[in-house]
Chain A
Amino acid sequence: MRSDKHNNAPFPLKLAATGGLLFLHLPLLLIFAYAFTTEDKSFQWPPPGFTTRWLAVTWARPDVWQALTLSLQVASIATAFALVLGTLCAAALSRARFFGQEAITLLVILPIALPGIVTGIALRSAFGMMQIPFSFWTIVLGHATFCIVVVYNNAVARFRRMSPSLVEASYDLGANGFQTFRHVILPNIGTALLAGGMLAFALSFDEVIVTTFTAGQQQTLPIWMLEELIRPHERPVTNVVAMAVVLVTLIPILGAYYLTRDGAETAGSGK
């Protein structure tokens, strides 16, 4: 009695799903069109003409490069902190059962569950109280706090799939804890860490809400964009930067996707 009719999507559903996906993607595609427009005063549509002139103008702008460099530095260091702390948390929480475990899980998720503005203003007022001046490191501190959860999520899933007998076998064969970590655990969780690290990097690279509270005079790339959005100086340059940001964030997202696509390569997962 199984009818094939119900295995093909009804037309209204197809239409609504396609419409939804178009709604998600058309605005991003529009960024590409505007990056090449000759119109530099307004967001006129359709663009009166196309030019590649603004690519060269943007390339020559030192403020864009400074903001980009700062963003890359902050994201790298925040990701490194998050990788270490997130992996430690995942290793501790993946198997053991102990009192207060749920509270610790909540603690890890909290920075991303609370609105960014709460995290931002909390850190800012704490820095103010302790009289820590705003610097590169206050930005990193804020970013690492909410990047931990991304690494943790990826790592804990992999730890749970990994068979505990692998570690026991390593000990039985005479390896100590450090050797076991280096030769057994790390190869198994490596891709999950890489994926988590990439997402943490993307998250930090794009973060603006917490950064507005923890940065002093320094401009990360999102802060630079925010300034341009509030007080536009040169629209075409902003258009080109926006396009570049879309292209650059594509890489870690696609990378993380391909690394975690199938967990089948995890040793001992069949057990």
Chain B
Amino acid sequence: MTASLAPQSSAQDSLASRFSAALWRSPRLLLLLLLAPPLLWLGVVYVGSLIALLAQSFFSFDDFTAQVTYELTLSTYAELFSPANFDIIKRTVTMAALVTIASAILAFPIAYYAARYAKGRWKAFFYLGVMLPLWSSYLVKIYAWKMILSKEGIVSWTADKLHLSWLLDAWLSLPVVGGNSLSVSATGTFLVFVYIWLPYMILPIQASLERVPANLIEASYDLGGGPSKTFRHVLLPLAMPGVAAGSIFTFSLTLGDYIIPGIIGTSRLFIGQAVYTQQGTAGNIPLAAAFSVVPVVIMAFYLWGAKKQGAFDAL
């Protein structure tokens, strides 16, 4: 049995050897073979889909027949600037900006402590302390906040125990940020966005602060700069690339999200929800496509600005 198989397997061996020798002689061929499958997938399936989507946004939708008219036009983009639709864009961009600022403020102390003071076991503790919430289920995190912010939930209970219910009620009676309860208010949406994207801000800030040598801070103190001066003139400028890198995530993720404002928030729409309702119930694919181009364009400008801040060196 072995005798009959041996020549065959050696022939296979030599075929494999000849093949790999050919690859060794021509690295270009190897490169092409390695890249062909992922490029077929990403370049054809994925980029093809994106181009198909972009193409749809240049068609228009007839409200009376509820049919897509396949003629090239910019009228769908013009629709984006109607007051109702433009409000959606303004609301989403404002929310994304506020969420980014709040995350940066919350993230900085955690990142700074982890980068400069945490050593050994504590370093690992901080790292996992950020990674675990980052990777925990997105929907479970939203669900947890629905519990926290509900009328009978832990926030109202805490406010009651601290005799601060009047403050909570006063806040909820405000026009834009308020609502019936925190879980159906813009404040609630904001809190959940900050919570869910915060780890994406901590990691790049920490990475950029790790590269600040400790003696730079000491030098600033020795030269008479107090904590606030050292922060403003030494730490913050050096951490800026990290903040910019983190803000790419918080800004982009907020712009495109449609689940959080749908579950915790008011009935006022965000871009993501507009895309979802237009393509789903309304069947207006062109408008949905045009709406989904908005975050992409905003992010393109944002990335261009962030690149100037050196954000890509901090990723």
Give residues in A with beta carbon < 8 Å to B.
1-3, 6-10, 13-14, 16-17, 20-21, 23-25, 27-28, 30-31, 34, 42-46, 84-86, 88-89, 91-92, 96, 98, 104, 107-108, 110-111, 113-119, 121-126, 129, 141, 144-145, 148, 171, 176-178, 180, 199, 202, 206, 208-209, 212, 222, 225-226, 229-230, 238, 242, 245-246, 249-250, 252-254, 257, 261
Contact = CB atoms under 8 A, between A and B. Distances in A.
9 smallest CB-CB distances across A and B, nearest first, come from A115-B256, A177-B20, A16-B109, A126-B49, A17-B113, A92-B34, A122-B49, A27-B144, A176-B20
Contacts of A85: 37-38, 41-42
A115 B109 contact: no
Nearest to B278: A121
Contact of B135 (A16, A119, A249): A249
A6 B227 CA distance: 10
Interface of A is mostly: helix
Interface string B9-27: 0000100110111011001
B131 A257 contact: yes
A121 B150 contact: no
Interface hub of A3, A117, A125 (most chain B Cβ within 10 A): A117
Nearest to A107: B42
B252 A20 contact: no
Contacts of A119: 46
Interface residues of B, number: 94
A37 B253 CA distance: 33
Interface hub of B56, B143, B217 (most chain A Cβ within 10 A): B143
A208 B285 CA distance: 21
Nearest to A243: B140
Given A14-B113, A118-B296, A107 B137 contact: no
A24 B46 contact: no
A115 B153 contact: no
Contacts of B130: 24
A17 B139 contact: no
A120 to B, nearest CB: 9
Contacts, number: 254
Given A125-B49, A257-B128, A42 B152 contact: yes
A215 to B, nearest CB: 13
Nearest to A5: B221
B110 A20 contact: yes
Given A126-B49, A177-B24, A250-B132, A91 B150 contact: no
B80 interface: no
Interface of B is mostly: helix
Contacts of B62: none
Given A43-B152, A45-B152, A122 B42 contact: no
Given A121-B53, A177-B24, A10 B227 contact: yes
Interface stretch (B71-79, B164-172, B239-247, B257-265): B257-265
A92 B266 CA distance: 48
B301 interface: no
A238 B143 contact: yes
Interface hub of A110, A122, A180, A245 (most chain B Cβ within 10 A): A122
A180 B132 CA distance: 37
A250 to B, nearest CB: 7
Contact of B52 (A42, A126, A222, A246): A126
A145 B41 contact: yes
Interface string B138-171: 1111111111101011100100000000000000
Nearest to A224: B139
Interface in B104-147: 106-107, 109-110, 112-114, 116-117, 124, 126-133, 135-147
A121 B157 contact: no
B236 interface: no
Contact of A178 (B20, B276, B288): B20
Interface hub of B129, B140, B292 (most chain A Cβ within 10 A): B140
Given A25-B133, A42-B152, A118-B296, 8 more contacts: A85-B42, A88-B34, A88-B38, A115-B296, A118-B50, A118-B292, A125-B56, A126-B52
